[in-house]
């Protein structure tokens, strides 16, 4: 086999592997479908709504949860699938529409029911929303450090470049 043929075949194989590894999910999500991501984004926005400060949507909390469900939260994948399906079913049953199409008041009503009926899912998404909103942006949430700015926290320095993380706390380099 000639070198050019070999290189061209390798590039084609990599391109094919890349498109296969993305699954059928052209929306750019790792775990969620586009519809599930919209539902989770709406749920998170009800948990930490935007007001005078950014909310969960602005912090891209759904991105954090999506990434972590393919990493550290793998064991919670089925809980999320069932929980999202349950919220969607409740919205359709009670109001005849999908969760994201409901008014904020109707969404709160559905989530109040979900809190009682699907306690495991609700507690999980509540904890993950908080983590994605307040956590380090390098994990996929807290986009542009919106929660840190809201709280007046300085951007933490990169480890090893400064002797302390925040004034008053010693951190050896």
What does the pLDDT look like over 76-100, one tens digit per residue? Answer: 999 999 999 999 999 999 999 999 9
Rounded mean pLDDT, 4-13: 50
CA distance 132 to 28: 18
Across the chain, what does the average pLDDT equal?
81
User: How many CB atoms within 10 Å of residue 139?
Assistant: 15
Q: What is the pLDDT of residue 1?
A: 55
Residue 159 bridge partners (DSSP): 162
Burial tier of 32 (Cβ tally within 10 Å: 0-12, 13-18, 19+): buried
Residues 69/81, Cβ–Cβ less than 8 Å: no
Q: How many domains, the chain?
A: 1
Look at residues 57, 56, 54 and name the one whose alpha carbon lies nearest to residue 149: 54
**CA 161-163-169 angle, 5° bins:** 135
Question: For residue 68, what pLDDT band results from cuts at 50, 70 and 90?
Answer: very high
Contact 125, 87 (CB under 8 A): no
Domain-located, residue 55 = yes
Cα–Cα nearest to 99, from 55, 159, 46, 30: 46
Q: Is the pTM of this model over 0.95?
A: no
State the pLDDT at residue 171.
46
Which residues form the domain of 107? Answer: 32-151
Which band of pLDDT confidence, cut at 50, 70 and 90, is reported for residue 154?
confident
Establish if 11 belongs to a structural domain.
Answer: no
Q: Is 8 contained in some domain?
A: no
- Whether the CA torsion 109, 110, 116, 119 is positive or negative: it is negative
Domain membership flag for residue 159: no
What is the reported pLDDT for 173? 42
d(CA 162, CA 111): 44
Checking if the pLDDT of 170 tops 50, the result is no
Whether residue 112 lies inside any domain: the answer is yes
157 occurs within a structural domain? no
pLDDT band, residue 158 (cuts 50/70/90): low
pLDDT given for residue 109 in this prediction: 95
Residue 26 lies in a domain: no
Helix (H, G, I), strand (E, B) or coil at 164: strand
Whether residue 23 is predicted with pLDDT greater than 50 in this model: the reply is no
Which tokens in the block code for residue 58?
A: 């602005």
Residue 54 has pLDDT above 50, yes or no: yes
Bridge partner residues of 170 (DSSP)? 164
Residue 84 lies inside a defined structural domain of this protein: yes
Task: Give dist(CA 106, CA 83) in Å, integer.
Answer: 17
């Amino acid at each position: 086999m000639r070198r050019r043929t070999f290189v061209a075949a390798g590039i084609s194989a990599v391109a094919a592997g890349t498109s296969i590894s993305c699954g059928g999910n052209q929306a750019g999500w790792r775990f969620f479908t586009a519809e599930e991501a919209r539902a989770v984004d709406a749920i998170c926005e009800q948990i930490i709504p935007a007001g005078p400060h950014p909310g969960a949507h602005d912090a891209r909390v759904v991105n954090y949860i999506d990434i972590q469900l393919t990493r550290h939260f793998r064991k919670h994948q089925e809980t999320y699938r069932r929980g999202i399906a349950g919220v969607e079913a409740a919205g359709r049953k009670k109001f005849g529409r999908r969760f994201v199409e409901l008014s904020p008041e109707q969404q709160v009503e559905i989530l109040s029911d979900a809190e009682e009926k699907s306690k495991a899912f609700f507690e999980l998404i509540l904890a993950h929303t908080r983590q994605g909103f307040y956590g380090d942006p390098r994990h996929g949430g807290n986009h542009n450090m919106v929660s840190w700015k809201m709280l007046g926290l300085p951007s933490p320095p990169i480890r090893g470049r400064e002797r302390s993380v925040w004034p008053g706390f010693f951190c050896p380099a």
